[in-house]
């Protein structure tokens, strides 16, 4: 089912995944208009998209996701919304009111704008972290949408994304102002990597500071399955096509889908090493501290930060929930997305690996210069 002639809104359009989706839409669909919604859209982004724009109109909507009037204006006349904008925070460095306002209230206001402005399709970018890992570090291996799991979320990020996802799915079937019905679905990608991934860049910077040795923060047996950004973008396109198809619309509406690909299983730390070993980086053989000691150190840091919080906000570089996340086997299948959405990874593991390494290689001299200049 083609999206030809449609008008869509992409929130978080300047972000890591948003930029990739906009380019894919321009390359594969002859849409009438794509609206890039973000706090700020860089002019160089528009310039880079000019080569593949064709006859599609690119419109910039700069504003706050918590501004209902701005959202209604952005959605007016649109038929599809890809909602990717959110605050990502695994260090609990953002005040809860701020992250809740963007991730939950922003999503609710956007859903209300869609109903008022007769937008028929809404695709929400969720995260695997709405499932966990839980505080006990209970593993999931090759899980599915039907996996039963005792989900006890600690991160404000995980909690707010979970609530926003629930509100999105509950809005499926809401009556629009013109009498039509809103169709919604949510995609839960694994950890997303690829060109532009700030987490990979951060780990590379740490490795440079550590004289070419990457820190090991996860045990080798804590295997996860990261997903390439190009494949996540492709999954969003397939979701939009499926929601437009009258025969699939109600079948997939109100549901969430796990998005992974054929990236080999491995721990987060070993994955970083796979990407950076061609650039000359080594990795520590063992964790910086035994795992139990690491939890004790994190606990003490958290307590100290809590004690001084009335006077100054200090964010510890590591916390217990992050250690749990990095050291829990947590992998999932994309077979339901394949069956229901027709999602098939566009990029093989080898293609994704080469593209990511080439990007990291291009960034390495700049990172070295930046770090050495401090």
Active site residues: 161
Q: C-alpha 209: how far from its chain's center?
A: 27
Q: How far apart are the first and last CA of the chain?
A: 52
- Rounded CA gap, 329 and 222, in Å? 4
Secondary structure (DSSP) of 118-148: T--EEEEE--GGGT---TT---EEEE-TT--
Q: How many CB atoms lie within 10 A of CB 241?
A: 19
- Rounded CA gap, 214 and 277, in Å? 9
Length of the chain: 374
Q: How many CB atoms lie within 10 A of CB 35?
A: 23
213 and 283 Cβ atoms separated by less than 8 Å: yes
Nearest C-alpha neighbor of 188 from the set 127, 124, 263, 123:
127
Provide the 8-state DSSP code for 175: B
């Amino acid at each position: 089912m083609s999206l030809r002639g449609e008008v869509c809104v992409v929130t978080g359009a300047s972000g890591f995944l948003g930029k990739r989706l906009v380019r894919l839409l321009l390359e594969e669909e002859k849409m009438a208009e794509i609206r890039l919604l973000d706090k700020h859209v860089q002019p160089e982004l528009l310039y880079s998209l000019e080569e593949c724009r064709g006859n599609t109109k690119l419109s910039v909507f700069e504003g706050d996701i918590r501004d209902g009037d701005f959202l209604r204006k952005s959605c007016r006349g649109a038929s599809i919304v890809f909602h990717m904008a959110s605050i990502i925070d695994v260090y609990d460095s953002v005040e809860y009111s701020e992250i809740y306002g963007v991730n939950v209230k922003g999503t609710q206001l956007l859903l209300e704008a869609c109903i008022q402005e007769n937008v028929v399709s809404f695709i929400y970018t969720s995260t695997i972290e709405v499932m966990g890992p839980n505080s006990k570090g209970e593993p999931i291996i090759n899980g599915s949408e039907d996996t039963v799991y005792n989900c006890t979320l600690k991160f404000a990020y995980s909690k707010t994304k979970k609530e926003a996802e629930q509100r999105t799915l509950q809005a499926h079937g809401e009556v629009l102002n013109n009498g039509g019905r809103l169709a919604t679905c949510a995609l839960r990608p694994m950890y997303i990597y690829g060109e532009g991934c700030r987490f990979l860049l951060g780990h590379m910077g740490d490795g440079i500071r550590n004289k070419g040795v990457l820190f090991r923060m996860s045990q080798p047996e804590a295997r996860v399955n990261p997903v390439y950004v190009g494949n996540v973008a492709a999954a969003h396109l397939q979701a939009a096509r499926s929601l437009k198809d009258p025969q699939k619309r109600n079948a997939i509406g109100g549901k969430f889908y796990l998005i992974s690909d054929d990236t080999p299983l491995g721990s987060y730390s070993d994955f970083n090493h796979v990407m950076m070993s061609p650039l000359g980086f080594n990795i520590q053989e063992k964790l910086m501290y035994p795992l139990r000691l690491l939890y004790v150190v994190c606990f003490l840091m958290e307590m100290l930060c809590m004690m001084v919080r009335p006077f100054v906000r200090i964010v510890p570089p590591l916390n217990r929930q992050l250690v749990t996340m990095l050291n829990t086997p947590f992998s999932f299948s994309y077979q339901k997305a394949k069956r229901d959405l027709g999602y098939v990874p566009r990029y093989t593991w080898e293609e994704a690996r080469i593209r990511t390494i080439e990007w990291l290689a291009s960034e390495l001299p700049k990172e070295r210069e930046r770090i050495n200049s401090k």
